[in-house]
Structures are given as structure tokens and as C-alpha cells.
Amino acid sequence: MIELDDVVTGSAQPTSADVKHHTVADEPLVALVMAAYNARPFIKRAIDAVSNQDVADFVCCIVDDGSTDGTADLARQVTAKDPRFMVIVQENQGQAVARNFGMRHLPNSKYVSFPDADDEWHSDALRTLIEAADAFGGSGSHALADKIDVGGNPLFPNLFAQFGRDRFVTRHLARHLIPVQAPSSFESLVESCTVYPPGLWLMRRDIFEKAGGFSPWFQNFEDWDLLIRASRFGDFAFVDKVILKYRSHPAQISLRPDDILALIEVRAKTLKSPLNTPPQRKMAAAAWRTEQFRFACQSVTLIFKRPKSALTSVKAIGDSVLRFFAGAVNILVPVDDNDLRR
């Protein structure tokens, strides 16, 4: 057995207020990290959904990412009697750093997953993902979610699940739907980000470490970036089943206005990566060119709809045409995928 007693605030030494002693198995089946920032209104329901899983062989590290609303205090109260949980605090550095930080505080495991602090797993979520990953034998597995509103009520039932079900690959500037029985591969994952939030997927721990963990470069789509990198080591089994309630609320990170820029940066990083095999380079380039072609077409349409924006649209068309032929020019992204060190 090991003691999870090294709970710290950021990189400082632990204090009596920060330490929470828990004893867990030396090597649980699944290690979970729940990154939380000002999640007090939702985190109890998120924790309860994890603790009520019908697979009990897990440990969960809740990382408070510099919250100002008492998230950590509530998390400690809710988990006080469950030795599978620990709560740590860091200065606000974003969810990528928080998840990497949490992983460094957990024992070795076969799998890892990252349920968010504002979402709710169904009681069979972990079992569904584990059984699919065990049977498939690739890098892991993923399933589907449906949206709920702030109060937990269904929001446009099955719409978000269908979005996750519709996975594509790019061939000759056209997107082709892949069947639901097919796994998610590098080719489909680089085409579009449909596998989110991260509580939807389970990844082998060794693949997580080989891939380099979450990149601190990204404040959004960091989970998509990691999935793409992990898919270089193997496909992900797809389970056509809703296992998670994905909460929609005004403060969620995925509603940030710079989403499009982050999406382009993930694509650019993938396109430039020296880790791509020759086939993967072709797949990444095909997805990139199709997206630039789509951007150019949208800009042309905008000229007719809004003539006053013609100059802006013409520039956008020029940028898209340039990047269609030259790749991710003038887009600064890291090409070193070994991000786990941070």
C-alpha cells in the first residue's frame, strides 16, 4: 500500500491544511484526475457520479486550479470518507497543467481518464470504457455524451450524442462518414474534434506517458491535441453509447471566443509534428487542406452576404489559399510533443 500524503499547493511544501492522508491500492485499475476551477456549484454532483461508479477500482485526484469560490473546501468535505479520493491545490495555470499535476500525484495504473468538475458520469461509464478498451487492445476507448443545462435538465436530447457519433475522414477535399462499428483512428481524430469532454474517453496509462501528457500551450482543445498524439500509438475503440451528461453553462471553457484559433493551432501542431509517419503526414495534410478550402469558400460566400466586409474576406481568402498550398505558415505552435514535464 502507498500513502497519498504529498498533497501540495502549487510547488510549495505541504502544510497541515493541504495534506489529506489516504491509503489506496498500489496499482489501481484506473487513475482519474478532475481539474476544477470555480466549480463549486457543480462539483458535488460530479464527485458523486464518480464515487457511484459500478467499477470501484480507481483513485481520483481532484486538482483545484486556483479557485476563488471554495471549490477545494467543498471537494474535501464531499470526499472526506472515501479513501479513493485526494484533493490538491495549485495556482491558476489552466486545466492542462492541472491534469498533468494531478497525474504526478497518483500511483501507477492501467488506464487514465479525466472527468470534468461540471459534468456527470452515468453509473456504468467506467465499466463501459474499460470493457471496450480491454476487448479492443488499442490506445483506449471513448463513448458519447448528451448535454444538460445548468440545472441538470436535458438540453436538445441526442443532438450532442449524434455530433460525437458522426466521425469523418478526409479524402480528396471531401469528408466521408465512417461506420459506428469502426474505431477512432489518427485519420478520423485529426479531421475533427468530436471526442469531448475528456470524461468521454479512457486511455492506457503508458500511452498517456508516451504521448507526453497535456500540452500547456493550449487553453482549449488541449484534450483533442492529446488524443491525436495518443492515436499515433493505436486506435481508440468507439462505443455507441451515452455515458456522460455534458453540462452547458456560461462559464465553461469551451465557450471562449478564441475557440477557432485554438482549433487551427491544434491542426497546425499536428501538421508540423516530426513524429508523423509518412501516411500520417498525408492524413494531416488532407485534413488541413480541406479545412482551408472550406474557410475560403465561407469567405467567398461572405462577400455576397456582406459586401462591406469584402476587403476582410478577400484577405481571408488569400490566407486560406496560401495555407492550402504552403501549410501552416505564420502559425506559431510547439512541435515538441513531450509536454508532460510541466
Work out the average pLDDT over 273-281. Answer: 95
Task: Give 22 or 285, the one with higher predicted confidence.
Answer: 285
pLDDT value, residue 93: 95
Average pLDDT, the chain: 89
- pLDDT score of 15 more than 70: no
pLDDT higher than 90, residue 342? no
Between CA 147 and CA 228 the distance in angstroms is 24
Average pLDDT over residues 215-231: 94
Q: What is the CA 181 to chain-centroid distance, rounded? A: 22
The top-scoring range by mean pLDDT among 42-51, 241-250, 263-272, 324-333 is 42-51
Print burial letters for 85-114: b (CB count within 10 Å at least 16), e (below 16). Answer: bbbbbbeebbbbbbbbbbbebbeebbbbbb
Both ends of the chain: CA-CA distance in Å? Answer: 27
Q: Between 109 and 333, where is the model more confident?
A: 109
Residue in the structure block whose three cell numbers are 489552466 = 94
Q: What percent of the chain has pLDDT over 90?
A: 77
Look at the alpha carbons of 29, 110, 120, 180 in this order and tell me if their dihedral is positive or negative.
negative
The grid coordinates listed for 42 are 457543480
Per-residue model confidence (pLDDT) at position 13: 35
Sequence length of the chain is: 342
Residue 14 has what pLDDT? 36
pLDDT over 60 at 234, yes or no: yes
Report the range of poorest mean pLDDT among 205-209, 266-270, 277-281, 302-306: 302-306
**3-class DSSP state for residue 32?**
strand
Region 291-319 average pLDDT: 90
Q: Which three cell numbers stand for residue 291?
A: 479545412
Residue 11 has pLDDT above 50, yes or no: no
Helix axes of 222-230 and 259-272: crossing angle, nearest 10 degrees = 20
What pLDDT shows up at residue 221? 92
Distance CA 242, CA 195 (A): 12
| Domain ranges within the chain, ordered by starting residue | 2-262, 276-326
pTM of the model: 0.89
Q: If you ran DSSP here, which 8-state letter would residue 233 be given?
A: G
Local confidence band at 308 (pLDDT 50, 70, 90 cut-offs): confident
Q: Which pLDDT belongs to residue 224?
A: 96
Q: What is the pLDDT of residue 263?
A: 87
pLDDT in tens, 169-199: 999 999 999 999 999 999 999 998 899 999 9
pLDDT at position 337 is: 60
pLDDT top residue among 258 and 230: 230
pLDDT for residue 319 is more than 50 = yes
Beta-strand pair 111-113/201-204:
antiparallel
- Amino acid identity of residue 294, one-letter, is R
Between CA 220 and CA 254 the distance in angstroms is 7
Superfamily of domain 2-262: Spore Coat Polysaccharide Biosynthesis Protein SpsA; Chain A (3.90.550.10)
Q: Look at residue 177 in the predicted model and tell me its pLDDT.
A: 96
> Does residue 24 carry a pLDDT above 70?
no
